[in-house]
Structure 1
Amino acid sequence: MAEEIMIGVIGGSGLYNMPDLTDIEEKHIETPFGDPSDAIITGKLKGVPVAFVPRHGRGHVHSPSEVPYRANIYALKSLGARYVVAVSACGSLREDYAPGHIVIPDQLYDNTKDKRRGRTFFENGLVAHISVASPFCETLSGMLAESVRVAEGTVHEGGAYITIEGPRFSTKAESDVFRQWGMSIIGMTTSPEAYLAREAEIAYAVMAHVTDYDVWHETEETVTVEMVVRTMRRNLTTAQKALSHLIPRLAEEQPDSEAFNALEAAIITDKDEIPADLRDRLSLLVGKYL
């Protein structure tokens, strides 16, 4: 029987591999929701089994709207993932969250529109209403923030992440409105990724790397692809060090999370009314409740 891999990492713009992994294998996993973004890279980090998926694929071939979010989360779940850390680039909507800083958000606002994103595992005969009042695992987020400090990164705990559709950047009017709404950082991928992780009963946290001030700032440059890539490259060492500190600790402590029982009171469909093929399709996620 294959060893379960309890910890997953999703790499965003600029993070397409984990160079510190040993015993590396590539796993091509088929899911009921299609293929993941790329082969899942498995290996060990300081002796701890880890699964890594590049969100946009190697070579950055998937736009934010085209990322197979459901397949990525399902594939990690099938390997045994209970904890997932997502690494993302983001723009700042606050003066004090400066480029080069890292934010561990505690709230999420979904401003996306494209139906291709696949926002839920539960449809076509099985309905579940999960709670995402706190969309990120508080315990995992706290441990992640501590690890960024150990890696000597400048970290901010808390803040609201707004997910826009992309792939274009914001207009100044949009950026100004998001600031008025009280949003802290802006990106294109955390929705629906965080919600799907919760539906899969996976503890999920985001290490968001501030690369720019979006387009609202009066004296700073407006965001460009070159700016995002340049800042992410500078931050990669910090990200890798933080993960190298977090992952062994996570494996040792295995903290509890509200995510682990997210579906316990969420499934509203009468069990007798769930089609047999749908039971089979979602057995990895809901088998223990049906």
Structure 2
Amino acid sequence: MIAIIGGSGLSQLSNLDITRREVVRTPYGEPSGALLFGHMCDQQTVFIARHGYGHTIPPHAVNYRANIWALKQAGAEAIISVASAGGIQDHLTPGVIMVPDQILDYTWGRQATYFDGVDTPVVHVDFTEPYDTALRQRILAAARAAGEAVIDGGTYAATQGPRLETAAEVTKLERDGAHVIGMTGMPEALLARELEIPYAAIVLVVNDAAGRGTSLHGIQMSGIEATAKQAMSRVHNVLQHFCTHCA
């Protein structure tokens, strides 16, 4: 079973044939919403909207531990995260899709591990390659089969949110090696690694980061939704081809 986590702009999968909806409980509290089970093509799929189905949960308040635990409990064998981001590099303009291969974590105060609590042994998880290599390659192959141009590789900077960054912060992130900026990549990727679930991301650039390109003097929020809506159909196409070839 493939799990898909939808971010901003993807609170539902139009090409998911839903067979049941399940409200689940976890030892870590409630997930962002009910799990939607169904099929994309012939591939068994489970879907959850990261920010809730009404997009009411801000990035710093998402119960990442509950979400990943619920997907593991449901039988997910791999997780594909879909997330929106701001582009820092010149070639990562609004509408571009990227499959990142590295993460920089600037979040704080989030419940970021399952190995925490009284009498819980300390566990150090290898996180050299934060995204599963084989799953990334399958996504890239699906994009080629779908005829969709996708950037292979790049570094995702996870910031705390929910505010957007200052131009000076973006300059710092660029010096650190970041290519795009989002708010939900961590601790989600790490939690999947701790539960040994292959995890990879499809990142949709929906705006130029602060101080860059069209956002030189401010980010035009009105354009983000339109860009996300237009480009999300391409993400749906990639996911459909992924499921076609995995079934």
Give the structure-2-normalised TM-score: 0.95
Give the aligned partner of residue 194 of structure 2: 199
Larger radius of gyration: 1
1:223 deviates by 2.8
Give the aligned partner of residue 87 of structure 1: 82
Give the structure-1-normalised TM-score: 0.81
- Map residues 30-179 of structure 1 onto 2, 5 A cutoff: 30-113=25-108, 115=109, 117-124=110-117, 125-126=119-120, 127-179=122-174
- Distance in 1, matches of 2:147 and 2:225, equals 21
- Distance in 2, matches of 1:216 and 1:101, equals 18
AA aligned to 1:226 is S
Give the aligned partner of residue 232 of structure 1: 228
- Distance in 2, matches of 1:46 and 1:219, equals 38
Correspondent of 1:186 among 181, 190, 193: 181
What's the C-alpha RMSD, in Å, of the aligned pairs? 1.4
Q: Deviation per CA, 1:86-113, whole angstroms, max 9, x where unpaired?
A: 0000111100112111011000010011
User: Where do 4+ consecutive residues of structure 1 move more than 6 Å?
Assistant: none
1:44 deviates by 1.0
1:27 deviates by 0.5
Is the CA contact (8 Å cut-off) linking 2:2 and 2:46 kept in structure 1?
yes
Segment drifting more, 69-78 vs 219-228: 219-228
> What percentage of aligned pairs have identical amino acids?
35
AA aligned to 1:154 is A
Identify unmatched segments of 5+ residues in structure 1.
Answer: 1-5, 252-290
AA aligned to 2:241 is H
Is the CA contact (8 Å cut-off) linking 1:7 and 1:51 kept in structure 2?
yes
Q: Deviation per CA, 1:148-179, whole angstroms, max 9, x where unpaired?
A: 23333321111110000000000011011111
- Distance in 2, matches of 1:160 and 1:111, equals 13
Is the CA contact (8 Å cut-off) linking 2:208 and 2:214 kept in structure 1?
no
Q: Deviation per CA, 1:20-59, whole angstroms, max 9, x where unpaired?
A: 1224311001000011101111111112210000000011
Aligned pair 1:244/2:240, yes or no?
yes
1:219 deviates by 5.2
Identify unmatched segments of 5+ residues in structure 2.
Answer: none
Q: Deviation per CA, 1:81-137, whole angstroms, max 9, x where unpaired?
A: 110000000111100112111011000010011x2x310011112221110100000
